[in-house]
Amino acid sequence: MPSIFITGAGRGLGLEFARQYSAAGWTVTAACRDPSRASDLAALSVETVALDLADASSILRAAERLAGRSFDILLNNAGVYGEGQQFGRLSEREWERVMLVNTIAPVKLTEAFLPHLLAGQRKLAVFLTSKMGSIADNSSGGSYIYRSSKAALNAAVKSLSIDLAPRGVTTLLLHPGWVQTDMGGPNALITPEESIAGMRRRIDEVEPGQPLKFLDYAGALLPW
Ligand SMILES: NC(=O)c1ccc[n+]([C@@H]2O[C@H](COP(=O)([O-])OP(=O)(O)OC[C@H]3O[C@@H](n4cnc5c(N)ncnc54)[C@H](OP(=O)(O)O)[C@@H]3O)[C@@H](O)[C@H]2O)c1
């Protein structure tokens, strides 16, 4: 059975990814900041790993703890929205925190877990981004911190897709839709079950070596 490493698996979309892949019989390694408090994840009986993406040493410790293991898919799901996104009220400290978790950490995680990914069969690195990171799609302004963190993630993943292609790694950027999670809120348009079912189909459709795509959960190509 294929194996997958998922970040931010204690709640929201990460938890639903863990639930669906585990139900499908995959070997799931689920990372979250504090596994002892992730009771919904514990109920799935998947392997858990402590990982705080805002702490570079935590990323290295998780990779070391799993040394020698292989993962077919590295799923960079964890992310934060950030506080105070209005022009005139922007906090540099908050902007740095969000960039660290949403942009820098997924790349550092991919660096740290590259041996695990290269040891796997599929060698697929997936990144949860957002339509809000699309510069072409931005018609309403605002959300400076979140938008820029995901636009920068998209740019970094483009470089990863080029740099890692010779090593057989395929990359994919996915927008989950507007989903009912703590981040998406109760008025969001779709449930985590629908979003994850769609994104799993997109992941299944990836052809080894295909060029980087920026897709939504339903398979639509999104503009950069
Ligand atoms: N929901 C939407 O409508 C929507 C739309 C577009 C894109 N997205 C993207 O989809 C992904 C998942 O979002 P979601 O809706 O599931 O969000 P969520 O419900 O707010 O959950 C966020 C997850 O990220 C984890 N996380 C936050 N900071 C972390 C850190 N420093 N280290 C490790 N884990 C950390 C959280 O862990 P803790 O429990 O420890 O806080 C939690 O598991 C994100 O990348 C988000 O930007 C979501």
Outline where the chain has alpha helix (H). 12-23, 39-42, 56-65, 92-99, 105-112, 114-118, 144-164, 192-205
pLDDT exceeds cutoff 90 at 157:
yes
Mean pLDDT (whole number) for 106-115: 98
- Residue-wise pLDDT for 52-72, tens only, equals 999 999 999 999 999 999 999
92 Cβ contact list (under 8 Å, min separation 6): none
Phi/psi of residue 40, each to 5°? -65, -35
Taking the CA atoms of the chain, what radius of gyration do you get in angstroms?
16
Mean pLDDT of the chain: 98
**Burial (0-12, 13-18, 19+ Cβ within 10 Å), 146:** buried
Mean pLDDT (whole number) for 184-194: 98
Q: For ligand 1, say whether the CB of 32 is within 6 Å of any of its atoms.
A: yes
Q: For ligand 1, say whether the CB of 82 is within 6 Å of any of its atoms.
A: no
Mean pLDDT (whole number) for 174-182: 98
CB atoms within 10 A of CB 64: 9
- Tokens 């636009």, located at residue: 151
Q: How confident is the model at residue 199 (pLDDT cuts 50, 70, 90)?
A: very high
146 flagged as catalytic: yes
Beta bridge partner(s), residue 215: 174, 221
pLDDT exceeds cutoff 90 at 99:
yes
Q: For ligand 1, say whether the CB of 128 is within 6 Å of any of its atoms.
A: yes
Mean pLDDT (whole number) for 143-150: 98
Cα of 12 vs centre of ligand 1, distance in Å, is 7
pLDDT exceeds cutoff 90 at 122:
yes
Global pTM reads: 0.98
The domain defined by 3-216 carries CATH number 3.40.50.720: yes
> What percent of the chain clears pLDDT 70, i.e. is strictly above it?
100
Q: Which of 34, 52, 59, 80 to mutate for ligand 1's pocket (most ligand atoms within 8 Å of CB)? A: 80
Atom in ligand 1 nearest the alpha carbon of residue 34: 40
Cα of 149 vs centre of ligand 1, distance in Å, is 13
Q: For ligand 1, say whether the CB of 164 is within 6 Å of any of its atoms.
A: no
pLDDT exceeds cutoff 90 at 74:
yes
72 Cβ contact list (under 8 Å, min separation 6): 2, 3, 4, 120, 121, 122, 123, 124
Q: For ligand 1, say whether the CB of 14 is within 6 Å of any of its atoms.
A: yes
Give me the catalytic one of 21, 81, 146, 217: 146
Q: How confident is the model at residue 45 (pLDDT cuts 50, 70, 90)?
A: confident
pLDDT exceeds cutoff 90 at 49:
yes
